[in-house]
Amino acid sequence: MTTSRQEASSSLTTGEVGARSSPGGLAGPPPVTIIYIEGFGRSGTTLLDAMLGQVEGFCSLGETAYLWDRGLTPGERCGCGAPAARCPLWSEVLDAVQTGAHSMLPEQMTYWRDHAFRLRETAAAPRVFDVRVMARAERYLTALSHVYRTVAAMTGADVLVDSSKSARHGHMLHLLPRVTVHTVHLVRDPRAVAFSWQRDRADEGLPARPVGRNAKAWTFEEAVAEMLRAQRRGTRSVVRYEDLIAAPVPVLRKILREAGIDGAKLDFVGDSSVRLEPNHIVCGNPSRFRTGLVTLSLDAEWETAMDRRQVAAVTAVCLPWIVRYGYPIRAGRFQPLS
């Protein structure tokens, strides 16, 4: 985790809601910049989080949305190796949220994370929708603000990287005062995702899931992300996992450029590898524990090992998005960025 500051992050655009000041014309809380990674599980979100966290002035957080339940379960560890409740960073965050005038317990945070957002309301005008969410979950939003400001203050980071994946949670971040959010929508071929979820990794907290269930869930989450994209302000990048693995430097530069961050050094990443330092990623894929020189290689086993009937079923369910993101309808013909 790096602690130096980077002036370029100030060029990001602050949303109307995030630009509010405190009563009486006094300056509000210090500004915070977040790169938020949304996407479906087993699409490389934790890897991208860890890679961006190597940029000077950046700090990887992992899936902070799930800190309050999954992050506190016995055996769950931060990327630094310590349980979240005893991690030097997250223990301070938990204390900040549970104390003070707007304190909330972990079970309260979990409840509002799951209930503050109502998809049926997304049909309303953006301003009306935001006001409804803010009125319903004011204390939850205040607690979220404490989370990110505590991390920023403790680490000295200019940019925080959150890979909670959920487009709903990402939208909540846009409602925080003086918080600038750049969203990275990370996608992976849904057939590769479905095949990956067939692998039973229950010992790592990742049990197997049926292919059909995954295809429907993947399509649903893409539709939700698209609906919310139209609702919120702020900058956004769309990145394919396959391109990230094939051409990591150009993809990282694209994300930083679209976030309004120029001049960042990427000397930690090569054409097919990345050097990762220890981090404080919570609740992400077990790959968060990998450090040192990590080889980047594309897992395309689904193209040869996945049952053809399953491939056809997932292709049929996800076809509009497969075409939209430039994936081939037939396996074995995809050409990532060179």
pLDDT per residue as tens digits for the range 262-313: 999 999 999 999 999 999 999 989 999 999 999 999 999 999 999 999 999 9
Q: Are 281 and 77 in contact (CB under 8 A)?
A: no
- Within a domain: 197: yes
Return the axis-axis angle of helices 211-231 and 190-198, rounded to nearest 10°.
130
- Within a domain: 50: yes
Of 12-26, 54-68, 228-242, the poorest mean pLDDT is in 12-26
- Within a domain: 332: no
> pTM of the predicted model, to two decimals?
0.88
pLDDT of residue 239: 98
Structure tokens at 303: 């193209």
Q: Are 215 and 50 in contact (CB under 8 A)?
A: no
Q: How many domains does the chain have?
A: 1
Which residues, in sequence order, are CB contacts of 200 under 8 Å at separation 6+? 207, 208
Q: DSSP characters for 60-93?
A: EEE-GGGTTTGGGSTT-B-TTSSBGGGSTTHHHH
- Within a domain: 337: no
Q: Tell me the average pLDDT across 170-175.
A: 92
10 Å CB burial of residue 41 (0-12, 13-18, 19+) is buried
Q: How many helices (H) and strands (E) does the chain have?
A: 12, 7
Distances (CA, A) of 264 to 12, 32, 210: 14, 18, 41
Kindly report the CATH number assigned to the domain that includes residue 302.
3.40.50.300
- Within a domain: 338: no
pLDDT tens, residue by residue, 72-122: 998 899 999 999 999 999 999 999 898 876 789 999 999 999 988 777 776
pLDDT of residue 14: 28
pLDDT tens, residue by residue, 182-227: 999 999 999 999 999 987 665 555 677 889 999 999 999 999 999 8
- Within a domain: 2: no
pLDDT over 70 at 327, yes or no = yes
Which residues, in sequence order, are CB contacts of 124 under 8 Å at separation 6+? 132
Which residues, in sequence order, are CB contacts of 235 under 8 Å at separation 6+? 12, 13, 182, 183, 258, 259, 260
pLDDT band at 130 (very low <50, low <70, confident <90, very high): confident
What's the one-letter identity of residue 221?
E
Residue 33 is classified by DSSP as: E
- Write out the residue range of the structural domain in which residue 41 sits: 7-324
- Within a domain: 123: yes
- Within a domain: 126: yes
The Cα–Cα gap between 84 and 281 comes to 10
